[in-house]
Structure 1
Amino acid sequence: MGRAAPGLIYHPIYSELELPYRHRYPIGKYRALYQALQQLGVPAHAFQLSESADLALVRQIHQPDYLQALCTGKLDAKAMRRIGFPWSEQLIRRSLLSVGGTVQSTALALQHGLALHLSGGYHHAFAGYGSGFCLLNDLAVAARYALNQGVHKVLIFDCDVHQGDGTAAIFANEPAVITCSLHGEKNFPYHKQQSDWDLALDSNSADPDYLAAVEQSLDYLLRLHQPELVIYDAGIDVHQQDDLGLLAVSTRGIAQRDWLVLSRCQQAGIPVAAVIGGGYQRDLAQLTHSHLQLFFAAFALAGQPLPSHPDWQWALAEAPLLA
C-alpha cells in the first residue's frame, strides 16, 4: 500500500511580482508549475496556502536592523542592487510568504514524512544582507524552526547550481545543522563560503559524474550525521539548457537525482521538506517540465504516480532500480 500523497504548499503571490521588462528572474514559473500539476490531476484542495512567516522566528536568523530596513524600504540602493529586485511592498509580502511556506513544508514533513514547496531555496541571503535574488533565507529559517520543535540534527542538502553561501555562513557555528552544497565551481557566488560539505563541480559536468556526486555525498552525510530531517533544495539550474547553470545535466538526470534523494531518505525513515530552488531558462514550458521531476518522483514514491508523460516512461520502468 502506498504512502499518503506528499504535502504541497503554494501561494499565487509567488508569480505576482512586477519586474522590469526582460528581468532575468523567471517570476512566472511558480504559477506555471501549479497549473501544470493541476493539469496532471492534482486537485486544488491538495495544496495548502502558505502563510506569512513569524517575524519572531525570522529574527532568530536575520539581524533586526537588516529586517527593519528591508521591510520598511530603507535599504540603500547598493543593497537592493545586490539583491537584484526593485523594492516594493509586494516584494516583502511575497518574501515573507515564501519563507512561511518553507516552514509549513517543514512542519508537514515532520508530521507526514514528505512535503514539497512550490517556491523556496533563497540560499544567498545572509544574516545581515540579501544577495542574488534572495532577501530572506527560508532554508535557514525552516531549519531553525525544526530545531525549535525538538529536532536534534538537520541536513540542508542543496543541489542548486549556485553555492548556498548564505546558509553556510549562517550555520557556520551551529553543529545541529549540517550544510551541504553541490554546485558549479565557476558559478555565482564568486567568493564561496565554507559549508560542512562542499562539492564543486566542473563546468559541463553531465549526468554520470553529477549523479555519482549526489549519491556519494548523500549516502555519506546520512550515514555520518544521521539527521532527523532533510531540507532538500532541488534546484534545476544544473540543467544543460539553463541560461546561468554552466552544467550539462539532462532532464532525465534531474529526475534520477530527485528520485535518488527522496527514495534514500524514505528508506532511512528521514522526513524531507523539499523546495524547488533555482532555474533560469526563458522557455517557461521547459523550465516547468524540469521542476515537475521533483513532484513526479514524490508522487511515485507515495504509490500515487502522476499520469505518465512520454518523457517519463523510462522512470516508471527504471525508477525502482535507482533506489
Structure 2
Amino acid sequence: MPWPALLYHPCYSALQLPPNHRYPIGKYRALYQALQQAEVPASCFDEAPPATEQQLALVHQAQYIDSLKQGSIDAKAMRRIGFPWSPELYQRSLQSVGGTIKTAELAMAQGLALHLSGGYHHAFAAEGSGFCLFNDLAIAAKVLQQQGVDKILIFDCDVHQGDGTALIFQKDPQIITASLHGDKNFPARKQQSDWDLALPNATDDGAYLEAVQQSLDYLLALHQPDLVLYDAGVDIHQNDDLGLLHISTEAVLARDSYVINSCRDRQIALAAVIGGGYQRDLTALTAVHLQLFKAAFNSRQLPHQIDQVLTQSAASRS
C-alpha cells in the first residue's frame, strides 16, 4: 500500500497576525514539524499550485473575490471574517484552497490523501465568516465534479456547523453535505445540510462515536459516493477553548480511524483536511491534530513514532 500524500505549504503559518489573536496560526508549521520528527518520509509531502480565480469563481461571486484580491472589502465584512486584510492573507487563502483541490485529486488517484490545512467551511458565495475567506471544501468539490467525479460526500466533523458549505450546495443533488456539530455553538444561525446532527453540550465519547458511526454508515450506503471530503476538525476536544463537547484524544483517534477505514473498506477515495482546533497551547493542539495521521498510518510504524514525539513534547513541558 503506498504512503498517503500529505499536502503542506510554509505560507500556512507565515501569516503575521496581531498579538494575542485568537487564531492559532502556528499550528500548521507545528504539525508539519511533528510529522518530520516522527520520520514521515519527505517524499510523502507535496505542495499544490495556488487556486486560480477561475476555480474560486466556481463557488464565489466575482465581486467578492475581487474585493479580497484588491483589499477593497468593507471593514465590517473583514471583522466578520476575523482577520485583518493583507495581500499575504489573500495569497495564503489561494494556497490553502489549492492544497485542498490537489488533496482531492490525489485521493481520487491513490485512495487517500491528507491536507495539513483546510476546512474553511464558513465561507459563503459572497461573504466570509469565522476565519474563512474561501470555502476550500466547496471549491474542491466543484473542481472534482468538473473533472467527472459523479457523487461527492462532504463529511464535516468540525464542532462548528459547515453553514457555508450547506448553503452553497442546497440545490446540487450530486454533492452531499453532512455536518456533525455542537448545537449551542457558532454559527448562531445554522443552515440546512443534507444531513445535520446537532450534538448537545458535554456530549461524551460514547455518544459521539455512535453518532459518527451511524451517520457515516447511513450516508455511505445511501449515496455511495465516489469521493469523501472529510473535515477532521479537533475543536470537538474536551480541552478546546471553543468546543463545549467532552471528547477525549482517544475518541478523536477512534473517529478518524473509523472514517478512514470505512472508506478504505468500501474503496471510496478519501481526502481529509485538518479543520478547526483552538487550544492556545500549541503543543497540546498539535497532539490532537496528529491523531488523523496516526489513523492514516495505522498499517505502518508511524503511529508508534508519533506517540514518541508526543511523549517527548509532554516531557519537555513538565
- Tell me whether the two structures share a fold, i.e. TM-score over 0.5: yes
Instruction: Name the structure 2 match of 1:5.
Output: 3
Instruction: Name the structure 1 match of 2:301.
Output: 305
Instruction: Describe the SS at the equivalent of 1:182.
Output: strand
Task: Give the Å deviation of 1:70.
Answer: 1.0
Instruction: Name the structure 1 match of 2:234.
Output: 236
Alpha-carbon separation, structure 2, partners of 1:59 and 1:227: 24
Instruction: Describe the SS at the equivalent of 2:286.
Output: helix
- Give ranges in structure 1 of 5+ residues lacking alignment: 313-323
Alpha-carbon separation, structure 2, partners of 1:208 and 1:126: 33
Alpha-carbon separation, structure 2, partners of 1:100 and 1:69: 19
Instruction: Name the structure 2 match of 1:24.
Output: 22
* 1:263 paired to 2:264: no
Check whether the contact 2:294–2:306 (CA below 8 A) recurs between aligned residues.
no
Instruction: Describe the SS at the equivalent of 1:217.
Output: helix
Instruction: Name the structure 2 match of 1:57.
Output: 55
Alpha-carbon separation, structure 2, partners of 1:172 and 1:203: 27
Summarize the Cα distance change of 1:223–1:77 in structure 2 as closer, same or farther, 3 Å threshold: same
Check whether the contact 1:61–1:127 (CA below 8 A) recurs between aligned residues.
yes
Misfit runs of 4+, over 6 Å? none
Query: 1:149-298 maps to which residues of 2 (within 5 A)?
Result: 149-298=147-296
Alpha-carbon separation, structure 2, partners of 1:88 and 1:134: 14
C-alpha offsets along residues 84-131 of structure 1, whole Å, 9 cap, x if unaligned? 000000000000000000000000000000000000000000000000
Check whether the contact 1:103–1:145 (CA below 8 A) recurs between aligned residues.
yes
Instruction: Describe the SS at the equivalent of 1:252.
Output: helix
Between the aligned residues of both structures, percent identity stands at 62
Alpha-carbon separation, structure 1, partners of 2:160 and 2:303: 32
Check whether the contact 2:39–2:305 (CA below 8 A) recurs between aligned residues.
no
Task: Give the Å deviation of 1:311.
Answer: 5.9
Instruction: Name the structure 1 match of 2:315.
Output: none
Query: 1:25-44 maps to which residues of 2 (within 5 A)?
Result: 25-44=23-42
Task: Give the Å deviation of 1:55.
Answer: 1.5
Aligned residue pairs total 308
Q: Match for 2:111: what amino acid?
A: G
Instruction: Name the structure 2 match of 1:137.
Output: 135
- Give ranges in structure 2 of 5+ residues lacking alignment: 309-318
Alpha-carbon separation, structure 1, partners of 2:85 and 2:106: 31
Instruction: Describe the SS at the equivalent of 1:17.
Output: coil
Instruction: Describe the SS at the equivalent of 1:230.
Output: strand
Check whether the contact 2:294–2:303 (CA below 8 A) recurs between aligned residues.
no
Backbone CA RMSD of aligned residues: 1.1
Alpha-carbon separation, structure 2, partners of 1:36 and 1:310: 8
Instruction: Name the structure 2 match of 1:316.
Output: none
